[in-house]
């Protein structure tokens, strides 16, 4: 379009017809296949691979390592305190059984003194352990958030449908992961040390007791692992179903007005009941599996109270040991059994933990995979048009495919848009107009071809039909987004990591427009009245208290304030009357900003230099044609001229 351009096109030879394309890339089969939510998801049980998720925190934060050393020290101290308590208990009960009142009082005071000194060690160990787990959680959550919000990964994940409920994974799964990982690893450490310390005590009392203990605990562990193996899958599914139910509720809140207008209460209720039912029935399965395991663990636990006394009782009756030794052996037996039987007591926690580790690992993998998708290539360098003038946007042989490759849209498109120019994309609903903008903006990278954009990503603004309303004041709305979405090297429209050569222009010098400029632009888009209505209000629910037309005009204010190199307008005036639409387009023409509009109204032609017309080709595909329109008349509206809207 930098020079005269008239092209037309019908479907290419690459996929001779629709049938051959579908053979190559099969779409959904006829009829509906209803897959219950998450039924097809199974934990991938690569727990050891995924466990390393938490390592970077300890590798990068030296203060965390010191704190961990402190908590480990406290954990060791708790074992020492337990050993001391064990001996204090022995002497206390021996004095009691010998009816030695003086010794008994002395042992009682010693025992109480031991409590006073030892119990704070347990309390502080537990407090610092939880605190450290919390700091770990914060670090990991921030890291996941950074990855999730980098390079539009959140959008890619939503489009690919690869992982469910990322919100739950970032919030509660990370918390469970850090809490349990910290708790389990310290428990294991404690168990190891306990095992060594109390094995010595038990062995010195009576070696056969030690042998009985080993047989009992190892047999119990093996049995509980066999009984609890279902729990991992059930826990994994439960996490996903709870999140689906919560998400259903969030959607009702977010779409309250539309649902109320439709009178969709019953439908929503049914849907939510289905999701609740899915969560409840899985939970019932979980309860049943836990109940079966509980039968075993309860018997196992209560038998411990009798077993040591039963084994050492003959020695006591023969007068070979004091009464206190029975108590001591009971306590040592309990300690060792707890250590060896860790798996039995923690089987449910371990099952839940491995489900969480799996979900987080899957999430991390999906985020890493997002960065390497797509066949459409792009670079941000100055493309040169046939006339020798540099093109702001140059599209070569572009074929746009919907995410997951189900639908072939535009094919073999060639197009140029020069700085200061304007392009109108028209065509029937579903032809792929918005999809073309998605490809230009770098949101969709599937398909093939090449898009060259002479602008950094932050220099391109997109105005959808329903603008996104952020939380905050009116000024926050007008200046959204304050920060560029990407660093300057992320200016490619695809996966290319070519460094930017395009100059940054918006906003100049990184300065945000001052309040006067915001006010002038708001008045220009006829939203000055909102200032008196909302002023500095930061709590307004903008998407429900502004009309769609007002939201669209707020989108235009964003456009004029951000002064991008390229504006992509997707039916951005559909809710406005024609006079307001004309007025906004005239201001845009005066600003010198290059723009591409998608729209259905024929009145839009008068504000664009070139038309890209899409139409069905009769064979299930989309044909395209590029044509020059009559030179638009740039209106010199007096009030528009007073606004400081500068070309990039
Ligand atoms: N995320 C997606 N995944 C799969 N298919 C999609 C996706 N988004 C859009 N499509 C399909 O791609 C086709 C083109 O959609 P697009 O939104 O580009 O149409 P459009 O020409 O802008 O339509 P309209 O004028 O109705 O807005 C449609 O058939 C649509 O169903």
Least Cα distance to 485 among 467, 514, 460 occurs for 460
Residue nearest atom 5 in ligand 1 by C-alpha distance? 402
Ligand 1 site, residue 308, Cβ cutoff 6 A: no
Residue range 109-139, pLDDT digits in tens: 999 999 999 999 999 999 999 999 999 999 9
| Residues 566, 395 contacting (CB under 8 angstroms) | no
Atom of ligand 1 nearest to the CA of 571: 27
Give me ligand 1 centre to Cα 580, in Å: 27
Q: Distance (Å, rounded) from C-alpha 208 to C-alpha 491?
A: 73
Q: Is the per-residue pLDDT at 412 higher than 70?
A: yes
At which residue do the structure tokens 């050993």 appear? 83
Q: Indicate the domain borders of the chain.
A: 50-370, 374-641
pLDDT digits (tens, 9 = 90+) for 232-287: 788 888 888 998 899 899 889 888 867 887 788 888 999 999 999 999 999 999 99
Would you say 49 and 160 are in contact if contact means Cβ atoms under 8 Å apart? no
Give the whole-number percent of the chain exceeding pLDDT 90.
26
Q: The tokens 């839940």 sit on which residue?
A: 352
- Ligand 1 test: best mutation among 435, 436, 447, most atoms within 8 Å of CB? 435
Q: Measure the CA–CA gap between 150 and 141, rounded to whole angstroms.
A: 14
Dist. CA 627 → ligand 1 center (Å): 23
Closest residue to atom 24 of ligand 1, CA basis: 429
Quick one: pLDDT band at residue 646, thresholds 50, 70, 90? very low
Please give the distance, rounded to the nearest whole angstrom, from the Cα atom of residue 433 to the centre of ligand 1.
8
Residue 610: Cβ within 10 Å count: 22
Structure token pair of residue 56 = 């970077």
From the list 484, 481, 410, 479, the residue with the least C-alpha distance to 448 is 410
Return the CATH number of 50-370, one of 3.30.1280.10, 2.70.210.12, 1.20.1560.10, 3.20.20.20. Answer: 1.20.1560.10
Can you tell me the mean pLDDT for 174-180? 90
User: Residue 616 Cα, ligand 1 centroid: separation in angstroms?
Assistant: 14
Look up residue 48 and give its two tokens.
């050891």
Counts of helices then strands in the chain (DSSP H, E): 22, 13
Task: Please give the distance, rounded to the nearest whole angstrom, from the Cα atom of residue 185 to the centre of ligand 1.
Answer: 50
Q: Is 107 exposed, middle or buried (0-12, 13-18, 19+ CB in 10 A)?
A: buried
Q: Which residues pair with 9 in a beta bridge?
A: 624
Among 154, 156, 432, 600, residue to substitute to test ligand 1 (most atoms within 8 Å of Cβ): 432
pLDDT at 30: 29
Q: Ligand 1 centroid to 621 CA: how many Å?
A: 13
Note the pLDDT of residue 29: 30
Side-chain half-sphere exposure of 362, counting CA atoms within 13 A: 22
Comparing 631 with 287, which gets the higher pLDDT?
287
Q: Which fold has domain 374-641?
A: Rossmann fold (3.40.50)
How many percent of the chain have pLDDT more than 70?
79
- ipTM for the whole complex: 0.96
Instruction: Quote the ligand 1 centre to 454 CA distance (angstroms).
Output: 26
| Atom 18 in ligand 1: residue holding the nearest Cα | 432
159 lines ligand 1 (CB under 6 A): yes
pLDDT band at 222 (very low <50, low <70, confident <90, very high): confident
Q: What is the pTM of this model?
A: 0.66
pLDDT tens-digit readout, 43-70: 444 555 566 777 889 888 889 999 999 9
CB of 429 closer than 6 angstroms to any ligand 1 atom? yes
């Amino acid at each position: 379009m930098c020079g005269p351009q008239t092209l037309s096109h019908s479907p290419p030879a690459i996929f001779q017809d629709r049938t051959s394309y579908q053979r190559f890339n099969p779409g959904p089969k006829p009829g509906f296949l209803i897959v219950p939510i998450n039924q097809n998801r199974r934990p991938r049980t690569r727990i050891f691979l995924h466990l390393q998720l938490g390592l970077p925190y300890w590798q990068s934060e030296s203060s965390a390592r010191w704190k961990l050393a402190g908590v480990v020290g406290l954990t060791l101290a708790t074992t020492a305190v337990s050993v001391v308590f064990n001996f204090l208990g022995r002497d206390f009960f021996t004095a009691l059984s010998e009816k030695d009142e003086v010794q008994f009082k002395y042992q009682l005071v010693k025992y109480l003194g031991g409590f006073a000194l030892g119990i704070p060690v347990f309390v502080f160990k537990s407090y610092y352990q939880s605190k450290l787990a919390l700091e770990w959680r914060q670090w990991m959550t921030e890291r996941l958030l950074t990855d999730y919000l980098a390079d539009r990964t959140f959008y890619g994940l939503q489009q690919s449908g690869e992982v469910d409920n990322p919100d739950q994974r970032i919030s509660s799964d990370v918390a469970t992961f850090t809490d349990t990982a910290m708790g389990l690893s310290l428990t294991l450490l404690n168990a190891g040390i306990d095992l060594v310390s109390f094995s010595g005590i038990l062995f010195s009392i009576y070696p056969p007791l030690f042998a009985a203990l080993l047989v009992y605990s190892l047999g119990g562990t093996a049995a509980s692992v066999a009984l609890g193996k279902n729990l991992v899958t059930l826990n994994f599914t439960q996490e996903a179903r709870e999140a689906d139910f919560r998400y259903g509720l969030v959607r009702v809140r977010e779409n309250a007005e539309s649902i109320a207008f439709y009178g969709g209460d019953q439908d929503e209720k049914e849907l939510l009941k289905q999701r609740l039912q899915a969560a409840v029935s899985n939970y019932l399965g979980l309860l049943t599996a836990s109940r079966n395991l509980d039968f075993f663990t309860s018997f196992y636990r209560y038998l411990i109270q009798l077993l040591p006394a039963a084994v050492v009782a003959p020695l006591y009756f023969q007068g070979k040991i004091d009464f206190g030794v029975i108590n001591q052996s009971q306590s040592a037996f309990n300690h060792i059994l707890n250590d060896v039987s860790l798996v039995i007591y923690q089987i449910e926690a371990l099952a839940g933990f491995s489900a969480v580790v799996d979900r987080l690992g899957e999430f991390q993998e999906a985020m890493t995979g997002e960065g390497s998708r797509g066949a459409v290539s792009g670079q941000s360098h100055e493309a040169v048009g046939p006339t020798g003038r540099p093109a702001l946007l140059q599209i070569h042989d572009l074929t746009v495919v919907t995410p997951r490759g189900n639908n072939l849209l535009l094919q073999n498109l060639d197009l140029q848009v020069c700085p200061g120019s304007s392009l109108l994309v028209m065509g029937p609903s579903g032809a792929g107009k918005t999809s073309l903008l998605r490809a230009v903006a770098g949101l969709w990278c599937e398909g093939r071809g090449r898009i060259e954009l002479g602008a950094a990503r932050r220099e391109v603004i997109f105005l959808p039909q329903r603008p996104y309303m952020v939380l905050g004041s009116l000024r926050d709305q007008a200046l959204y987004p304050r920060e560029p979405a990407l660093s300057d090297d992320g200016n490619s429209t695809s996966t290319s990591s070519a460094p930017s050569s395009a100059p940054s222009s918006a906003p100049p010098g990184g300065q945000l427009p001052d309040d006067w400029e915001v006010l002038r632009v708001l008045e220009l888009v006829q939203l000055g009245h909102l200032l008196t209505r909302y002023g500095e209000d930061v709590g307004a629910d903008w998407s429900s208290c502004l009309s769609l037309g007002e939201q669209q005009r707020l989108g235009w204010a964003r456009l004029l304030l951000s002064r991008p190199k390229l504006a992509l307008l997707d039916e951005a005036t559909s809710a406005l009357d024609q006079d307001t639409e004309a007025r906004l387009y005239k201001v845009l023409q005066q600003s010198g900003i290059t723009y591409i509009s998608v729209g259905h109204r024929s009145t839009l032609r008068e504000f664009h230099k070139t038309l890209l017309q899409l139409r069905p080709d009769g064979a299930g595909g989309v044909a395209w044609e590029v044509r020059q329109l009559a030179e638009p008349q740039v209106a010199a509206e007096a009030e528009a001229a007073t606004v400081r809207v500068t070309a990039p």
